[in-house]
Structure 1
Amino acid sequence: MNTSSPLTWTDELTLHQPQIDQTHQEFIDLMKELSLNMQSCDSALPIYQRLLDHTEAHFAMEEGFMAATGFAPDNCHSKQHAMVLDLMRQVLVHTHAEQDLEPMRNLLPELESWLPAHVDMMDAALVFHMNQVGFDPVTGTLSHPPAPAETAISSCGSANCG
């Protein structure tokens, strides 16, 4: 079982983008709830399914923001999302089939260490870019149009990310 202390929401994770910050807080809350309910598949699976559903919606929201602001469809931020979702889905299938929580127990601390790095690099770059192009995520409008398609962003959105 995970013996490290669970990830908690801190100011260091705040990106000052309300939709993304709220989604990250919810993600952390679901991971914490899962961590506290790893006694059996009956208790863990419904929470894990909620975490997976939330993660799918979370990533879809961010990818919608990327698409609206000039990211190429195959950018590295979206690729990282796809890898995380693939792994989470594999763990769910294994847990259902084998009634074995060990992969889930192993994945949880990995997600807890992955999220802060992802927020700090990929999501911070996305929020910076959204601000640069004047993107309003509530209305989906831009005050400065994104770059033309031939210069669409294929990296994570930061000049430091290649």
Structure 2
Amino acid sequence: MPIVWDHKLDTGIDVIDAQHKRIVEYINELEIAKQKGDRHLLNDIIEQLIDYTQSHFGFEEEMMAEAGYKFIKPHKKVHELFIKRVSEFTLRSAKGEDIVDELHTMLSKWLINHIANEDRDYAKQVQSMLAKGDESPQAVAAAPQAQGGFISGLLGRFFR
């Protein structure tokens, strides 16, 4: 069953919310690949999901660091554990094991919980930091390529 984005998951940081929505799309693409029975497509989606998620985590961590978020170390640890867990699924899949249903369930539950809890904790501090700068989250989301400064610099570093 696909994940349907619920606006209750919005952090109030448009660029982060857009990234979270893209991760949801990847998770939903896993289900489509399984329905097609396309093992190659499935492995490609898992690889893309891991790559994109690592970029998102790096982006998010830089924002937290810039905002002076005091719980950044435990947040990073949660990210590291997630990447390790998903990488284990990749290895299992490469060995021919059917992991899609288990991976989809784990990703769905983890993402919803992570956004609703851990990400929500840093959101106000990052919003405050962004409000002090010349880049509002709404302006960056509307035209990130046109913005100079902190967020567009991060986008360029983490997403190519």
TM-score class, shorter: 0.7 to 0.9
Match of 2:28 among 3, 27, 32: 32
Note the residue ranges of structure 1 that are not aligned, 5 or more in a row.
142-162
Which string of whole-angstrom CA distances, capped at 9 and with x for unpartnered residues, describes residues 50-96 of structure 1? 11111111111111111212246862111111110011111112211
**TM alignment of 1:86-105, pairs within 5 A:** 86-96=84-94, 98-102=95-99, 104-105=100-101
Distance 1:125 1:71 in 2: 9
Give the TM-score taking structure 1 as reference length: 0.74
Contact 1:7–1:28 (Cα < 8 Å) also in 2: yes
Q: Say how many residue pairs are matched.
A: 135
Distance 2:51 2:13 in 1: 21
1:126 shift after superposition: 1.4
Distance 1:48 1:28 in 2: 12
Higher mean C-alpha deviation, range 68-77 or range 52-61: 68-77
**TM alignment of 1:13-162, pairs within 5 A:** 13-38=9-34, 39-71=37-69, 75-96=73-94, 98-102=95-99, 104-133=100-129, 134=132, 136=135, 139-140=149-150
Distance 1:132 1:25 in 2: 22
Runs of 4+ more than 3 Å apart: 71-74, 132-138
1:40 shift after superposition: 3.9
Identify, as 1 or 2, the structure richer in helix. Answer: 2
Note the residue ranges of structure 2 that are not aligned, 5 or more in a row.
141-148, 152-160
What percent identity do the matched residue pairs reach? 22
